[in-house]
Chains A and B, each alone.
Chain A
Amino acid sequence: MNPALRARLGRVGLNAAGIVVFLAAIFPVFWMVSTSFKSEADISSLELRPLPTEPTLEHFAGIFTEGVAGHSIWLYLGNSLIVALSTVVVGAVLALLASVAVARFKFRFRATFLVLLLIVQMVPAEALGISLFLMAKRAGLYNEILGLVVINVGLTLPFAIWMLRNFVAAVPRELEEAAAIDGATRFRTFWQVLFPLVAPGLVATSIFSFIAAWNEFFFALVLMQDDTKYTMPIALRYFFGRNTTDWGSIMAASTVMTIPVVIFFLLVQRRMVSGLVAGAVKG
């Protein structure tokens, strides 16, 4: 075989492999979205129908009007949004302060704090579930959305600090020194010089925390008792448990929950990778 033909065949093979990976990766999501638009006849048909033959919105209409766990899916989307946004706002402030301390100052216990951060990220949240459940119960936060917010802040904070400190460290110190020489106070230097430059990193970190809080399952399962206080994952789990055969509606609810996360995810994926394997890649 001549080299040119061989190179071309190699290229075709690689592209074919690429298409196979692409199809395998999107298939489950495709199937979820496709099912959510299918009529009952398509869903229970004995032959395989990848696409809805007569697309319908009845499943979406159903989850918004009749609801999923006794109430419209709006309620659960709202609960999840409250939990995720509160987690993000509180977490962002705490993470920003801590990451400035870690990236801009030298002090005793600095290395200790960083090692601690690494270690607590590795403790399985599920293992802390029992203690946190009892603490929430004693603090009157059982079955309260506030309790879920507090726990989500705790769960997302270590990684948020870990990620954000890289962004703070990337801002050249000379800028702040120049501002200080010009007589700016520490606060002004922070607010007018450092903060605008760290803002993109703060957005990325916040989106990460948002996704984590939006998807959080375990603590919402353990803490939320009233069906009016369920977050989206628990409502979906409950709905699925009750209507195991109504796949059209289950997939519609699942689609509604998944879309916001996917959009956010595509915005930050690059930074998430660098946050998780920071150092290892830089060598």
Chain B
Amino acid sequence: MTTTTSRQAHASDGGRKAGGSKRGLRPANPRSALNPRYLPYGLLLPAMIVIGGLLLYPLVQMIQMSFQKVGLREIRGYPAESVGVGNYQKIVESDLFWAALRNTVIFALIAVTLTLVIGTLVGLLLNKLGKKMSTLVVIGSMLAWATPAISSAIIFRWLFDDRNGVANWVLNLLPDFLSQALFGRSDWSGFVWFLEPAPLYTVLILCVVWQSFPFIAVSVLAGLKSISSALYEAARVDGATAWRIFWKITFPLLRPVFSVLLVLSIIWDFKVFTQLHTLAGGVATRDAFNLSLYSYAEAFSAPPKMGIGSAIAVVLTLILLAVTFVYVRQMVRQEELR
């Protein structure tokens, strides 16, 4: 890291000289945007305008609106009135908010755990497989990863269809006593998965885990390739078990990879919208809301309550930024920003 930094410093000195005198004929105008002192700002300006206008300003506006009443009148352009913390008070008093928060957190906990465990196992497997076999598994996983969220949600609606879905058909094959013991029912013909939150979220978890384990697997594999095989040989000579090798060598060495993957997974799973909106069939099943669907339902169903929707979005954003803080600190600590 230190070598890169000094090389950069040296090179930008060189660049400054080249910009000042090498061009010879036309001395650089000190105020020109091409002056190396201002050039980086000039290059950044368009991106900053886009990021500022489309991400930062809306963020500020969202916070502002969460303290205002924003209904149909205000959407048409009338100035919005402040309601203080009224919106927050309303959502905290609503059962729907607590149900949505609970759904969001429980779903994220289960989906993130499953994704990380399955993804890591597949990553470890890929590392052990021969070249042909591992290419096959990687390509298969890529298919799952590449499928658009909307397509995957619709496919899972079809797989779990009450009449002709594969899932009910397979579940019917289970011996009755086993099915009864595991799920409390033996006849799955015509079972509807998308009316109650529990079965709905079961399908959602399967759908999301199916799509997100490949990223974890491929990332873990990339990490594993960077670990020297001498370490493993030494451990094996000492008679260590696979379980012990994982926790004593692999995990500590890949800790940075795992923490980034954990944070990214939490971020993705906390705000899952497309799949839930599709599986739940819009905003009709209110007790299956998570925070993003709840915010959307308040803001975009008639009558629109955008102030309340913003307050919910602020809560979601705060939770995510708290998690992000860990990620940013991790990146900064690794001097990735140099």
Query: Distance in Å from the Cβ of A110 to the closest Cβ of chain B?
Result: 8
Chain B residues contacting A44 (CB-CB under 8 Å) are 163-164
Contact of A134 among B46, B75, B261 (CB under 8 A): B75
Given A100-B43, A128-B58, A279-B334, residue A254 in contact with residue B155 (CB < 8 A): yes
Please name all residues of chain B whose beta carbon is closer than 8 Å to the beta carbon of A181 when the two chains form the complex. 18, 22
Query: Would you give the shortest CB distance from A191 to chain B, in whole angstroms?
Result: 14
Could you say which residues of chain B place their CB within 8 Å of the CB of A8?
A: none
Q: Is the interface of B mostly helix, strand, loop or mixed?
A: helix
B99 interface residue per 8 A CB criterion: no
The reply to whether the CB of B137 lies closer than 8 angstroms to some CB of chain A is yes
List the B side residues contacting A214 at CB < 8 Å.
148
Q: What are the residues of chain A within 8 A of B240 when measuring CB–CB?
A: none
Interface string of A94-121 (1 = CB under 8 A from B): 1101101110111100110111111110
Q: In this assembly, does B98 line the interface, its C-beta being within 8 Å of a C-beta of chain A?
A: no
Closest to A93 in B: B46
How does the 8 Å CB contact mask read for A243-279 relative to B, with 1 for contact and 0 for none? 0000100110010011001101110010001101111
Interface residues on B, range: 35 or more
Is B231 in the interface zone, CB < 8 Å from A?
Answer: no
Contact A115 B337 (CB under 8 A): yes
User: How many Å lie between the Cα of A119 and that of B325 in the bound state?
Assistant: 8
Is A21's beta carbon under 8 Å from chain B? yes
Given contacts A14-B125, A28-B156, contact A114 B337 (CB under 8 A): yes
**A-chain residues with CB within 8 Å of residue B192 when the two chains form the complex:** none
Q: Does B218 contact A (CB under 8 A)?
A: yes
Q: Within 8 Å of chain A (Cβ to Cβ): is B9?
A: yes
Q: For the complex, is B197 an interface residue (Cβ under 8 Å from A)?
A: no
- Secondary structure at chain A's binding surface: helix, strand, loop or mixed? helix
CB neighbours of A217 from chain B (8 A): 149-150, 273-274, 277
* Interface: A4 (CB within 8 A): no
Contact of A22 among B56, B140, B299, B328 (CB under 8 A): B140
Please report the C-alpha to C-alpha distance between residue A274 and residue B147 in the assembled complex, in whole angstroms. 20
Establish whether residues A107 and B256, one from each chain, have CB atoms under 8 Å apart when the complex forms: no
Which residues of A have CB within 8 Å of B336?
278-279
A154 to B47 alpha-carbon distance, docked (Å): 9
A residues near B141, Cβ cutoff 8 Å: 21, 25
Check A123–B59 contact: CB distance below 8 A. Answer: yes
**Of the 9-residue stretches B85-93, B108-116, B127-135, B175-183, which lies at the interface with chain A?**
B127-135
Q: 0/1 per residue, B31-60, Cβ < 8 Å to A?
A: 000101001110110111011011111110
Residues of A within 8 A of B273 (CB): 126, 217-218
**With an 8 A cutoff between CB atoms, is A29 at the interface?**
yes
Q: Which residues of A contact B130 (CB under 8 A)?
A: 15
CB contacts (< 8 Å) of B281 on chain A: these are: 241
Q: Which residues of B lie under 8 Å from residue A153 when comparing CB positions? A: 50, 54
Q: Which residues of A contact B327 (CB under 8 A)?
A: 118, 122
Which listed segment binds B: A52-60, A192-200, A232-240?
Answer: A232-240
Check if A124 sits within 8 Å of B271, measured CB to CB. yes
Within 8 A of A (CB), among B105-161: 122, 125, 128-130, 133-134, 136-137, 139-152, 154-159, 161
Partner of A157, one of B9, B51, B219: B51
- Contact between chains at A18 and B129 (CB < 8 Å): yes
Interface contact A131-B58, CB-CB below 8 Å: yes
Q: Given contacts A101-B44, A127-B292, are A26 and B226 in contact (CB under 8 A)?
A: no
Structural contact, A126 and B313, CB atoms closer than 8 A: yes
B226 and A95 contacting across the interface, CB-CB below 8 Å:
no
Interface pair A98/B43, CB less than 8 Å apart: yes
Q: How far is the CB of B169 from chain A (nearest CB, A)?
A: 6
In the bound complex, residues from chain B placing their C-beta under 8 Å from that of A274 are 222
Q: Kindly state whether residue A66 has any CB partner on chain B within 8 Å.
A: no
Is there an interface contact between A131 and B40, defined as CB atoms closer than 8 Å? Answer: no
A–B Cβ pairs within 8 angstroms, 29 of them: A14-B128, A21-B122, A28-B155, A28-B159, A28-B210, A97-B47, A104-B12, A105-B39, A105-B40, A106-B8, A110-B40, A115-B328, A115-B332, A123-B55, A124-B270, A124-B320, A126-B316, A127-B292, A128-B55, A130-B295, A134-B306, A154-B55, A177-B18, A180-B15, A185-B23, A233-B274, A247-B164, A269-B142, A277-B222
The 4 A-B pairs of least Cβ separation, nearest first, read A154-B54, A131-B58, A265-B146, A279-B336
